[in-house]
A and B are shown apart, each in its own frame.
Chain A
Amino acid sequence: MSPFEYRQASTAAEALLQLGATQQAMASRDAPRFIAGGTNLLDLMKENLTQPPRLVDINALPLDEVTLLPDGSFRLGALARNADTAYHPEVRTHLPLLSAAILAGASPQVRNMASNGGNLLQRTRCVYFYDALVPCNKRAPGTGCPARDGLARQHAILGTSEHCIAVHPSDMCVALAALDAVVQVRSATGERSIPFADFHRLPGDTPERDTELADDELIESILVRPSRHYAAHSAYLKLRERQSYAFALVSVAAALDIGVDGRIRSGRLALGGVASRPWRDQSAEEWLAGKPPSTSLFEDVAALVLHGAVPHGAGPGSNAFKVPMARRAIVRALETATAGTVTNQGDKVW
């Protein structure tokens, strides 16, 4: 890591001030950063992918609560740890999809350290992005994308551009996307809410920007709207090359509200491992509404979601397998959700 200053803040105002007030004398190509859990930021710094001249420790800010609000929505503090969020008794009961998704990711140690806000902001693990010596349009705009014709097994099949095919690695975010969360952020000039679907960006012509969060904004909390009606039929299916402790090749967050007549009242579906953000397809969700669950219905939904999927990579690095895998994973996750709620505890998803 390159040398840096370290400061603590105890209020949002102080944190935002500390972020801006970098002394002129410290020449650096990168901006100062907030640090919470540090599990992604410190790794990026050790790889010299980012060299902030100053870290502002925000852990003392009062943002670590996970609260069930009177109307049934949840406020997930940005500084609450992933593990505490997943194991929170009310999250487990009312948002089993979120709990399952968090527990499917990383390792217990990382989940104990990682903050909710940081989980949203973690960067792609693309092998080319992570190697400062090779071209990468996300890390160094204009230098090229070697993944497109190279090693792309972990890369996207949806929402890509000619400049970038990186995937967002988070599991928690896939569940938050399915549950229609809202990200509450604060800057020196005020607060705003960013719908989860808009938070992470597609690469387009500016792959270097992962999210809509401005450089001078702080995530304070994530609001999850009342989702109790999905609690009885939720499944997070994560397919990966190991049984645990690996990023998704393809993952699916599926949740259904099934009426007493057995028909689907509404459904939520989001995919991980296929794009630079969790992939929701609202037309596919609308197709589920009012219909009785069936394999052929789910196959139709999968075809809708994957319409326009494009494989990348070359030879053994090709990710073409993700297209049929995603199709089958959607069907499997929806069938599993129909049968009940399964929390992914490694092998128990089967």
Chain B
Amino acid sequence: MTAATPKDRATDGDAPSVHRIHVRVNGEAHTVEVASWVTLLDLLRDRWHLTGTKKGCDHGQCGACTVLVNGRRTLSCLQLAVMRDGAEITTVEGLEQGDGLHPLQVAFVQHDALQCGYCTPGQLCSAVGLINEGQATTLDEVRELMSGNLCRCGAYVQIAQAVAEVALHPGEHGSERASSPVVTGTVPG
């Protein structure tokens, strides 16, 4: 987390607080003054026109606003910009590598893991976070750990395959559940 304290500007009783913050977004340093109540999502979209990140629900329920903060996937709609002074932020616009697409972006295209594309930036940033976390070892775990990102078009099967390809290994991935019956009262190995 940050060690710097945002500098207050207006602090008297009736004036709302405005704070100056320094953040790095997709590798670029920015200094900006924000009101206390501005969310990171609104700052990214409205101030810096980084409109890749989407406002799907604005209440932390859909995952479309997922960005990476200091390498961790988080919901930008549920963070105050003023609390991210000193942070490194990565949005979907920052995923490209050199002149090319991020391997996840390539996999999403190859697996047809999008229809309208609205959830896609959030899915991609969430998948980058999932890979950084290193906790998913099977397709079922990838599905579980991507469940914070909703897709109203229903591209889940392809999204899971695309993420599994990059997070785990190339080739098709199958569910362990597909071949295991549910047996009451027993614990599968």
Interface residues in A86-124 (C-beta closer than 8 Å to B):
87, 106-110, 112-113
**Chain A nearest CB, measured from B84 CB (Å):** 11
Asked if A25 is at the interface (CB within 8 A of a chain B CB), the reply is yes
**Known A-B contacts A6-B17, A245-B147; A113 and B78 likewise in contact (beta carbons under 8 Å):** yes
Interface string of A170-205 (1 = CB under 8 A from B): 000000000000000000000000000000000000
Distance of A60 Cα from B82 Cα, bound (Å):
14
Asked if A321 is at the interface (CB within 8 A of a chain B CB), the reply is no
Residues of B within 8 A of A47 (CB): 59
Complex contact B130–A108 (CB within 8 A):
yes
Asked if A347 is at the interface (CB within 8 A of a chain B CB), the reply is yes
Asked if A137 is at the interface (CB within 8 A of a chain B CB), the reply is no
Asked if A39 is at the interface (CB within 8 A of a chain B CB), the reply is yes
Pick the contact of B129: A6, A23, A112 (CB < 8 A): A112
Complex contact A112–B147 (CB within 8 A):
no
Asked if B49 is at the interface (CB within 8 A of a chain A CB), the reply is no
Q: Which residue of A57, A107, A244, A332 has the most chain B CB atoms within 10 A of its CB atom? A: A107
Asked if B112 is at the interface (CB within 8 A of a chain A CB), the reply is no
Complex contact A38–B144 (CB within 8 A):
no
Pick the contact of A25: B14, B75, B126 (CB < 8 A): B14
Number of A-B contacts (CB under 8 A): 125
Interface residues in B93-135 (C-beta closer than 8 Å to A):
126, 129-130, 133, 135
Interface string of B137-159 (1 = CB under 8 A from A): 00011011111110000000000
Asked if A216 is at the interface (CB within 8 A of a chain B CB), the reply is no
Complex contact B83–A109 (CB within 8 A):
no
Asked if B58 is at the interface (CB within 8 A of a chain A CB), the reply is yes
B122 closest partner in A (C-beta): A109
Complex contact B78–A108 (CB within 8 A):
no
Instruction: Tell me what chain A mostly uses at the interface: helix, strand, loop, or mixed.
Output: mixed
Distance of A309 Cα from B59 Cα, bound (Å):
33
Asked if A206 is at the interface (CB within 8 A of a chain B CB), the reply is no
Asked if B73 is at the interface (CB within 8 A of a chain A CB), the reply is yes
B143 closest partner in A (C-beta): A346
**Known A-B contacts A4-B17, A6-B19, A108-B145; A336 and B187 likewise in contact (beta carbons under 8 Å):** yes
**Known A-B contacts A107-B63, A108-B133; A245 and B148 likewise in contact (beta carbons under 8 Å):** yes
Instruction: Tell me what chain B mostly uses at the interface: helix, strand, loop, or mixed.
Output: loop
Complex contact B83–A59 (CB within 8 A):
yes
**Known A-B contacts A3-B36, A339-B187, A346-B140; A112 and B59 likewise in contact (beta carbons under 8 Å):** no
Asked if A269 is at the interface (CB within 8 A of a chain B CB), the reply is no
Distance of A23 Cα from B12 Cα, bound (Å):
9
Interface string of A1-19 (1 = CB under 8 A from B): 1111110100000000000
A332 closest partner in B (C-beta): B185
Complex contact A42–B147 (CB within 8 A):
no
Complex contact A39–B60 (CB within 8 A):
yes
**Chain B nearest CB, measured from A42 CB (Å):** 5
Q: Which residue of B37, B140, B146 has the most chain A CB atoms within 10 A of its CB atom? A: B37
New A-B pairs, 11, CB < 8 Å, besides A39-B78, A60-B3, A345-B140: A5-B16, A5-B17, A6-B83, A38-B79, A107-B63, A108-B146, A108-B147, A109-B75, A110-B75, A110-B78, A348-B188
**Across chains A and B, which 8 residue pairs bring their CB atoms closest together, nearest first?**
A107-B148, A25-B13, A346-B144, A6-B36, A244-B147, A339-B187, A3-B16, A23-B13
A–B Cβ pairs within 8 angstroms, 24 of them: A2-B37, A3-B35, A3-B36, A4-B16, A4-B17, A4-B36, A5-B17, A38-B80, A39-B78, A46-B58, A46-B59, A59-B1, A87-B133, A87-B135, A107-B63, A107-B149, A108-B126, A108-B133, A108-B145, A109-B66, A112-B74, A112-B129, A245-B148, A345-B141
